[in-house]
Amino acid sequence: MSTCYNDFYCDLEPKRFDRHSAPDPLKLEAGLALESVLEEGLKARMTERPGEFVEPEHGIIYSPDLIIFNGETRLGEIKLTWMSSREVPREEAHSFPEKFSKWFTQMKLYARCLDTPHARLLAFFVNGLYDRGRGGGRPELLAWDILFTKRELDDEWRTIMNHSKRKGLLSS
């Protein structure tokens, strides 16, 4: 699944997502370390670390960070970022800044595969409310419960699957 949405964002925002550069290994490891620590703590309380699934229509392998069961099935996604948390909602909102669209694409695809409109995003902002004029900020761990509409899930799925088929990433 990540091949499909990563390729889509390389085409959509080529200056930000360079398909020819490898991820920074230290940042990648930091994200995986945070994910592991949070997964263990949350798993002990209310979740299951699901492992890999296969989407049946196209045989796409996907691996959600968490599946949370608390009266409803909820996709859990864990992110670690050096982006500022300055623009993210601090109270109930209906949108997120555009720079986080890739996160939401991933969540919509996974939620659709899991047949749930519910998601929880946990994001660790290493630089917090980072302000270039005043230096770094204090780290922040923030969380949001998200409810997607069926239309949002289906539209995102169609967009990424059509892109992936056009690019030869999936057979028709």
Domain annotation covers residue 106: yes
Domain annotation covers residue 150: yes
Domain annotation covers residue 100: yes
User: Based on the structure, what is the number of domains in the chain?
Assistant: 1
Question: What domain range includes position 117?
Answer: 2-166
Q: What angle do CA 106, 108, 113 make, to 5 degrees?
A: 100
Measured CA to CA, the distance from residue 119 to residue 108 in angstroms comes to 9
Domain annotation covers residue 48: yes
What is the phi/psi pair of residue 45, to 5°? Answer: -100, -45
| CATH value at residue 114 | 3.90.320
Domain annotation covers residue 160: yes
Measured CA to CA, the distance from residue 18 to residue 76 in angstroms comes to 27
Q: What percent of the chain has pLDDT over 70?
A: 91
- Identify the burial level of 103 via C-beta atoms within 10 angstroms of its C-beta, where 0-12 means exposed, 13-18 middle and 19 or more buried: middle
Domain annotation covers residue 172: no
- Identify the burial level of 33 via C-beta atoms within 10 angstroms of its C-beta, where 0-12 means exposed, 13-18 middle and 19 or more buried: exposed
Alpha helices in 13-122 (DSSP H): 25-45, 101-113
Given a cut of 70, is residue 134 above it in pLDDT?
A: no
What's the sign of the alpha-carbon dihedral 159, 162, 163, 169?
positive
Measured CA to CA, the distance from residue 75 to residue 65 in angstroms comes to 8
Domain annotation covers residue 171: no
Q: What is the pLDDT of residues 42-90, one digit of tens each?
A: 666 555 556 788 998 899 999 998 888 878 999 999 999 999 999 999 9
Write down the pTM of the prediction. Answer: 0.81
Domain annotation covers residue 63: yes
- Residues 6+ away with beta carbon under 8 Å from 172: 165
Given a cut of 90, is residue 132 above it in pLDDT?
A: no
